Amino acid sequence: MSKKKSSAKKQSLQYMISSNMAVSMVIIIIMVASLIVMRFSNEMQFEAETRLRQAHNQTNNSIDMFINDTLSISHYIKTILNNRNENQSAINEELILLKNSNKYLSNMALYSLEGEFLIGTAQANQNENVVKSNLFQKAKNSERSSYFEAPFMDISSEAKSTWVMSMASKCNYYFTGIKKQGILFIYMDYSNIRHLFENLNIGNSGYAYIIDENNNFIFHPQQQLIYSGIKSENLQSLNDNVIGSYYDNWNGRERYVIAQTVNNTRWRLVTVAYMDEMRIRLPLILQFMLYIIIAAIFIFIALSYVIANRITKPIHSLQTHMENVKIDNPDFHQLDNIKYAEIESLSDNYNKLVKRIKNLINQIIEEQDQKRLYELNALQAQINPHFLYNTLDSIIWMGEKGKNKQAVEMTSALAKLFRISISRGKKVINVEEEIEHVRNYLVIQSMRFKDKFTYSINVAPEVKGLKTLKLIVQPIVENAIQHGFEEYAVDEGKIEVSCYLEDNNLVYCVKDNGAGMSEERVKNVLDPKAESGGIGVNNVHQRLQIVFGKEYGISIHSEEDEGTTVYIRLPVIYSEEDVNA
């Protein structure tokens, strides 16, 4: 029981090779694919970060240009104000002309240090709001050249509702010929700042904003939501890192943040991108890689099977040949064309063993066939004692009745019959002699069974000189008389014997109109285990197949109450030496 279980658990060598190769290849594919995905993911993230830095730098450069243009305008205005030859009216006209020629300028105004409005492109409220503003006080009390402030609604503008950004700087002017100091305000249209951020390509959710040193938002795409408290920004992380790039996690999403100081200001430009959008192509890549991995796995499984099959094919062939080595199956073949040295060694030993076994089996079969042939020949050489007794009894009866002529004829036929049967020990005789032997037998039997049957013999002229095994037709004729006419009453029996060539074979045909046979009896006639009586039909059939092969012998066509036709088929023989009988 345990042996059966252990043998059931054993796997074929081909299965073991293919499965191990497939598993190894799958592991390698997964490892390589994982490395490729990791590498690609890193490269893709690096590329996304590079693109983000480029967008950030481009925006920062645009803001720098905007600030520099504003500073250039401020410097130009200060130069005019510092010119003693310019009167107040002319300076005011130049400010108006400057505003009209620069679309991002909203207004310009000059205030005294006391907050009095002196000149400008629009009348401003000369109240305490200007004097008390942080921007005015910073510019008045500091030696820095310029200060910027967060956007606000400019009610002094022509549109009355324009959002502007303001810049203030201390300057000198000569309106009464006396040098005085004042505060120059330049108001820039806030929409120009907003336009700088409109074409940022940093994903669907990415954005950029500007913040000052006090964490006041100069610009933010959702600035109103932040002021209303609906949205917030991760300023703690920004203040911890100040400038540079870093990662943070805000509202459950990982972000990549770049912070950089804007030149000539105390602002910082902050660009924010979300990692899931930076890696948006990664799921597609992973899906594509998964398809490739699956396809590669199937391909490698098929290749492993083909390779394993190619490796084990000689072993399977050796196994199959060994399984076919049976005593009752001598038609096995030797192994050839072995590609592998180890299996070739096994095959050589196997071939030697097979050759030895085959020789022994052929020797045994040949000895058995010779023994059977000797027995059949000995049986064939015997004369049916009943036939001899009945023939001699008929001759005596004819002599007593004075039928000397018939007695002489029967005695002559019997003598010729004996002479051809003996044939000086030959196993092969001419076809003409075989037909003569049958003719003498029919003469004797027709005289014994007078008026019981008639016969005819037709022999093709071209076959008379051919060779044939002797005494193969007479047993068929004897069987036709015995079972066709002697055992059954037939009104007029007929026996037709013919000999001719067909498909390069010599064919004897014995046809009678006797009682016929059933299909089962026809099968028994040629069955070596069945009783056939005398030398019999089966004797002839076995002799022919032993000498000439399984494709030759006797075939019978019979119908009950219609008669029987027996065909004896053997190869064309020209010389006695061609037959090993």
DSSP line for 320-335: HHHHH-BTTB------
* CA gap 372, 475 in Å, rounded: 18
228: which DSSP letter?
Answer: T
* Residue 197: strand, helix, or coil: coil
Per-residue pLDDT reduced to its tens digit, 386-400 = 677 777 877 888 888
* pLDDT over 80 at 56, yes or no: yes
* pLDDT over 70 at 161, yes or no: no
Mean pLDDT of 403-412: 84
* pLDDT over 80 at 5, yes or no: no
Kindly report the CATH number that applies to the domain delimited by 382-578: 3.30.565.10
Domain locations in the chain? 82-194, 382-578
Confidence bin at 329 (pLDDT 50/70/90): low
Q: What is the pTM of this model?
A: 0.49
Mean residue pLDDT of the chain comes to 80
The Cα angle at residue 69 between residues 65 and 73, in degrees rounded to 5 = 170
Q: CB neighbours of 174 closer than 8 A, spacing ≥ 6?
A: 81, 82, 83, 84, 86, 180
**Among the listed ranges 82-86, 206-210, 341-345, 467-471, which one has the minimum average pLDDT value?**
341-345
Share of the chain above pLDDT 70, in %: 83
* CA gap 321, 326 in Å, rounded: 10
* pLDDT over 90 at 570, yes or no: yes
Confidence bin at 365 (pLDDT 50/70/90): low
pLDDT score at 340: 64
Q: How far is CA 451 from CA 446, 476, 491, in A?
A: 8, 21, 9
* pLDDT over 70 at 288, yes or no: yes
Which amino acid does the sequence have at 555? S
Mean pLDDT of 225-239: 86
Q: How far is CA 101 from CA 73, 97, 241, 547, in A?
A: 11, 6, 41, 126
pLDDT score at 497: 96
Kindly report the CATH number that applies to the domain delimited by 82-194: 3.30.450.20
* CA gap 245, 258 in Å, rounded: 4
Confidence bin at 456 (pLDDT 50/70/90): very high
* pLDDT over 60 at 160, yes or no: no
Mean pLDDT of 431-457: 89
Q: Are 470 and 428 in contact (CB under 8 A)?
A: yes
Task: Classify residue 229 as left (phi > 0), alpha (psi -120 to 50) or beta.
Answer: left
82-194 and 382-578 share one CATH topology? no
pLDDT score at 128: 54
* CA gap 338, 312 in Å, rounded: 11
State which of 151-155, 242-246, 570-574 shows the largest mean pLDDT. 570-574
C-alpha radius of gyration, the chain, whole number? 62
Share of the chain above pLDDT 90, in %: 13
pLDDT score at 309: 80
* pLDDT over 80 at 446, yes or no: yes
